[in-house]
Structure 1
Amino acid sequence: MDRWLVTGCSSGLGRALAAAVAASGGQVVATARKPVALEELVRQWPGQITPVALDVRDAEQCAAAVQAAVDRLGGVDVLVNNAGNGVFGTVEEVSDEELRDQLETLVVGPWRLARLVLPLMRAQGAGHIVNVSSLAGRMAFPGLAAYVTGKHALEGLSQALAAEATPHGVRVTVMEPAGYTTGYGNAMTEAAGRLDAYAGATDEMLGGLRAMERLEGLGRPEDFAATVLKVVRSAAPTPLRVPVGPGAYEFLGGVDEAARAEFAAARALVDQG
């Protein structure tokens, strides 16, 4: 499992993962929309990091990135779909265009890249596809409607893919990060059609996202990278979903409890005579 293709390596989790793989002796095709952002990685790990321009919304660039991995590394053992973006807005505020852009990045791009690497992995009888989701893949937040939708869809894609690919020796893992110091909150754009009617429901959430980097107790991207390496290189069977980061299990434990309560309430309502 030494030949990696990792998307979204310009900063944050993807950059830390590319560095960790290289430090452990692996070979990485590291991608970013602007490869200039990868120059320091290449200097630090010459011969182990191959920089490739990739906007996952672009089908031709996706195909070229996989071909670069074949040409340079001879194939792909691990695909990590990490590239992401975010638009802040409620269901009523987010336009069709903004929604499509969000889903192209969070769902269509990972689906396309999985489709491109699967023939390689099936032929070699082994491989690992890691989709980086979020706590938002299993819970929802006001103002993050499009992002939550994309992450929920990514988790559904991963669940179906696992059922399809496991018989061919291909493992699938969904990483579900909690808060990390990645700058994601400040990079999130706002929907063009913001409405005053939703300010009370969303302003606090937006303010929290913008201030996230100043919070104490966030995870380090390097720790996330170490966990991904541990999961991928584990000889034992691994769960489909792996929550990771400070508070992840507490948050999702609460989500599971709420889901069970909702299930019981729904059954009681339906069973009422």
Structure 2
Amino acid sequence: MTKRWLVTGCSSGLGQALAARLAAEGEQVVATARRLETLAGLAAQHPGNLVAAALDVRDPAQCHAAVERAVTTFGGIDVLVNNAAYGQFGTFEEVSDAELAAQFDTNLFGSWRLTRAVLPVWRAQRSGHAVFVSSIAGMVPFPGLAAYTASKFALEGAAESLAAEAGHLGVKVTILQPGGFATGYSSNLVMPEIRIADYAPVSDGMLGALRGMNAKAEINSPELFADVVWRLSRMESPPLRLPVGSDTEAYLEAAYDARRSEYDRVIKAGHHTLD
């Protein structure tokens, strides 16, 4: 069955690979990016079933316009993929209020406001699937990525709440947790205006790892991501959380084990009662 998609962040990387795969499969796709000209190649390759639209998820009017475009063109929306995001580098003390607000405005508030604009369509249809592209950083804290990690932790909490609130309306929710992908992520990192030398021993190593990510032989390809999302959309009961990439297991298992160990230690010691 052909599905109708609205996908954000399609100018490059994961979003571009996904939009191309969906169009190749014959799906109906509204592919979006902040700058419309970055979508020209995609639109030219798939003129019949892919529509390009300008969308800055920080702009409420553009969010509503993108939803209206999808409904007008294809008659509805079956799957929304909240993919648009960027990484703000910097430790907790280095990131300013303005930098923190900008990070959340795109990574959390943008997904929230666009999903909120789609929900009336899904309530009318009594069906829909919200896909939130998080990260392993949505469960694993990384030094030097305090703002990015916080935005992804928050995104996952918002998505879980949506699943609890809208499931009875036929709305499915999936949180994708990609590991390292060859997307040029490091070239889009925003550096903080302030750098503090005391944090260099923990943050510089992380920055170097991010900048060298595309050179790793084991790095995941955007096409893998696109294939996973395509297969996910065909599932009758998709999972709430789905790690994506060969490198995710070690990171996420370590995070789960550490939290369970800390929980057991606190409970067995009786600290939760404050007696």
How far apart are the structure 1 equivalents of 2:79 and 2:252? 27
User: Could you list the runs of 4 or more consecutive aligned residues of structure 1 that deviate by over 6 angstroms after TM superposition?
Assistant: none
Deviation, 1:74, is: 1.3
Deviation, 1:165, is: 1.0
How far apart are the structure 2 equivalents of 1:48 and 1:222? 19
The DSSP-based 3-state class of the residue aligned with 1:4 is strand
How far apart are the structure 2 equivalents of 1:100 and 1:243? 27
Where in structure 2 are the equivalents of 1:206-225 lying within 5 Å?
206-225=207-226
Where in structure 2 are the equivalents of 1:246-265 lying within 5 Å?
246-265=246-265
TM-score (norm 2): 0.96
2:39 corresponds to: 38
1:171 corresponds to: 172
C-alpha contact 2:175 2:241 (8 A) present in aligned 1: yes
Where in structure 2 are the equivalents of 1:21-36 lying within 5 Å?
21-36=22-37
How far apart are the structure 2 equivalents of 1:58 and 1:173? 24
The DSSP-based 3-state class of the residue aligned with 2:172 is strand
2:79 corresponds to: 78
The DSSP-based 3-state class of the residue aligned with 1:172 is strand
How far apart are the structure 1 equivalents of 2:164 and 2:147? 26
How far apart are the structure 1 equivalents of 2:149 and 2:200? 19
C-alpha contact 2:90 2:144 (8 A) present in aligned 1: yes
Deviation, 1:186, is: 1.8
How far apart are the structure 2 equivalents of 1:56 and 1:132? 14
Aligned residue type for 1:184: Y
How far apart are the structure 1 equivalents of 2:100 and 2:269? 34
TM-score (norm 1): 0.97
How far apart are the structure 2 equivalents of 1:167 and 1:87? 36
Identity score, percent = 50
Deviation, 1:208, is: 0.8
Deviation, 1:169, is: 0.5
Deviation, 1:75, is: 1.4
How far apart are the structure 2 equivalents of 1:94 and 1:63? 31
2:132 corresponds to: 131
| Unaligned segments of structure 1, at least 5 residues | none
1:96 corresponds to: 97
Where in structure 2 are the equivalents of 1:1-273 lying within 5 Å?
2-235=3-236, 237-271=237-271
How far apart are the structure 2 equivalents of 1:207 and 1:189? 14
The DSSP-based 3-state class of the residue aligned with 1:130 is strand
C-alpha contact 1:179 1:219 (8 A) present in aligned 2: yes
Deviation, 1:268, is: 2.9
Q: What is the root-mean-square deviation of aligned Cα atoms in Å? A: 1.2
| Unaligned segments of structure 2, at least 5 residues | none
The DSSP-based 3-state class of the residue aligned with 1:189 is coil
- Which whole-Å deviations, capped at 9, do the CAs of 1:214-239 have from their partners, x for residues lacking one? 1110111111111011111112x222
The DSSP-based 3-state class of the residue aligned with 1:87 is coil
C-alpha contact 1:186 1:209 (8 A) present in aligned 2: no
How far apart are the structure 2 equivalents of 1:246 and 1:20? 20
C-alpha contact 2:27 2:49 (8 A) present in aligned 1: yes
Query: How many pairs are equivalent?
Result: 272
Deviation, 1:24, is: 0.9
How far apart are the structure 1 equivalents of 2:98 and 2:44? 38
The DSSP-based 3-state class of the residue aligned with 1:252 is helix
